[in-house]
Amino acid sequence: MAYLLLIVLLITETGFSVFELTRTTVKREWTPKRVLVNGVQLGIFLLMTLLPGIDFGFRFTALLIVLILRLVVSGIFALAYRKNDSQKKKAAIVFSALISVVLIAANMLPAFMFSDYHGRPLTGEYEVVEDQIILTDTSRTEKFENDGSCREIPVHFYYPDDSSIASHSLPLVIFSHGAFGYYQSNASAYMELASHGYVVASLDHPYHAFFTEDSSGKLITVDPEFIRTAMYVGGNDNDMSEDELFGITSKWMELREADVNFVIDELKAGTYEQEWGRMMDTGRIGLFGHSLGGATMVTVGRRDDVSAVIDIDGSMLGEQTGVADGMPVVNEEPYTTPLLSIDNDEHHLSRIEAYETGYAYTNNVILDNATEGFSTYFRGAAHMDLTDLPLFSPFLAGMLNTSESSVDHEECIDTLNALVLKFFDCYLKGEGGFAVNEYYL
């Protein structure tokens, strides 16, 4: 429908301009027609909101504002030129048409970059509500600022909308997003878990998150140097030595692990009046994350108070302790927390290759030394397919994926969420046993 809307708007614009170029017109005649055409275009948009796929949501907000502004501005010019008999130059008509086409096309970009996504159907019995807080770690100075401010961690909660739930009866699950992701990375999973009786806390890692806000309401965007370095490290043409890689990734892990450890400690120690604070049982904590977030959660998951961990397509960088003779040194201490590792196709093949070549890949070492370690992969899935992004913006997901995707995105995310729920049900609620297929899809 977005393409149809664009075509109709461009046809009305070019049709009006071509018609005016075939005749001689004066400004007092041309400007009312310009008002009429702008009014028709706004009317077309309003009329098409009655059809599926076009609405007043963020995908079309910019276009709506531009259409209204163009109508208002053209009305002002019509009043100003109502007695002006000077000829409307053809060059001015062409220029007006070009500006209009550019404005319409540019402000429709969100409609093509993002889909009309409203979440996935929930299978649990509870309606889900959301809340958020910002926790301040007074023991750490924000290294991305030079004003001496303390590190702030936004935490977003998803939990059942049911006041009858007994106090401190629901397991707490905490999520960490990937590099320049953000807290809603896997929102469908949080919603699904909350609908089944979990309190889910998804945190932002400021300056590693694509965007977030601090306690003053200031917009905090991802650090450009972090983006540049992360893209290079994750690229296929990366020629860094193991020492260089470890020097970079260990700093990432240190920051993220400190964020998560702080949030866990604060949630355990604090007395929160919010509904989620009354509901959550901090004696049953599960962790999961995507990419760098999954890597973070694996290392934090060694805490005694964590009961289960899921790593979604993350290289367990926090488990590398150093480099020796050009090879990674990996923590070989047994991993005693139940651990589920979920990979995409490319990641799965790289793990097999590491076994064949004798490369000490962290994920292989940790899973081999895990007391209860489970591993699976999603055939045909790319890295971002294991988040909600392909459902929200297929365009951005395609740009960020480093391998081709051949999955049905709805089936992929529903299967992933069901697996996450099954794992946490087993290890946080004690419901049934857990087994995993070699692969899914």
- Determine contact, residues 307/286, Cβ cutoff 8 Å: yes
- Determine contact, residues 112/2, Cβ cutoff 8 Å: yes
Cα–Cα distance measured from residue 363 to residue 375, given in angstroms and rounded to the nearest whole number: 10
- The whole-number pLDDT of residue 413 equals 98
Tokens, residue 4: 């149809």
Cα–Cα distance measured from residue 167 to residue 170, given in angstroms and rounded to the nearest whole number: 8
- β-pairing, 327-330 with 320-324? antiparallel
**Burial of 422: CB neighbours in 10 Å, binned 0-12, 13-18, 19+:** middle
- The whole-number pLDDT of residue 20 equals 86
Cα–Cα distance measured from residue 265 to residue 140, given in angstroms and rounded to the nearest whole number: 14
What is the third-level CATH fold of 128-440? Answer: Rossmann fold (3.40.50)
Q: Where do we find the tokens 């999973």? A: 189
- β-pairing, 150-160 with 199-203? antiparallel
Cα–Cα distance measured from residue 80 to residue 262, given in angstroms and rounded to the nearest whole number: 62
Report angle CA 284, 334, 248 to the nearest 5 degrees: 90
- Determine contact, residues 154/213, Cβ cutoff 8 Å: yes
- The whole-number pLDDT of residue 330 equals 97
pLDDT along the chain (441 residues), means of 10: 92 91 85 93 94 87 94 92 85 90 92 88 97 97 94 98 95 96 96 98 97 94 94 79 94 97 96 94 98 98 98 97 94 97 96 95 97 97 96 88 90 98 98 96 94
Contacts 24+ apart (CB under 8 A), 49-55: 51/1, 52/1, 52/116, 53/1, 53/2, 53/116, 54/1, 54/2, 54/5, 54/111, 55/116
Report angle CA 338, 153, 248 to the nearest 5 degrees: 70
> What number of H helices and E strands is found in the chain?
15, 13
Tokens, residue 386: 């294991």
Tokens, residue 404: 């081709």
- The whole-number pLDDT of residue 436 equals 97
Cα–Cα distance measured from residue 126 to residue 244, given in angstroms and rounded to the nearest whole number: 48
- The whole-number pLDDT of residue 52 equals 84
- Determine contact, residues 339/298, Cβ cutoff 8 Å: yes
The pTM score is: 0.88
- Determine contact, residues 7/111, Cβ cutoff 8 Å: no
Write b or e for each residue in 237-269: b if 16 or more Cβ atoms lie within 10 A of its Cβ, otherwise e.
eeeeebeebbebbeebbebbbbbbebbbebbee
For 78-105, the DSSP string reads HHHTTT--SB--HHHHHHHHHHHHHHHH
Residues near 157 by beta carbon (within 8 Å), at least 6 away in sequence:
130, 131, 132, 133, 199, 200, 201, 202, 274, 276
Residues near 109 by beta carbon (within 8 Å), at least 6 away in sequence:
none
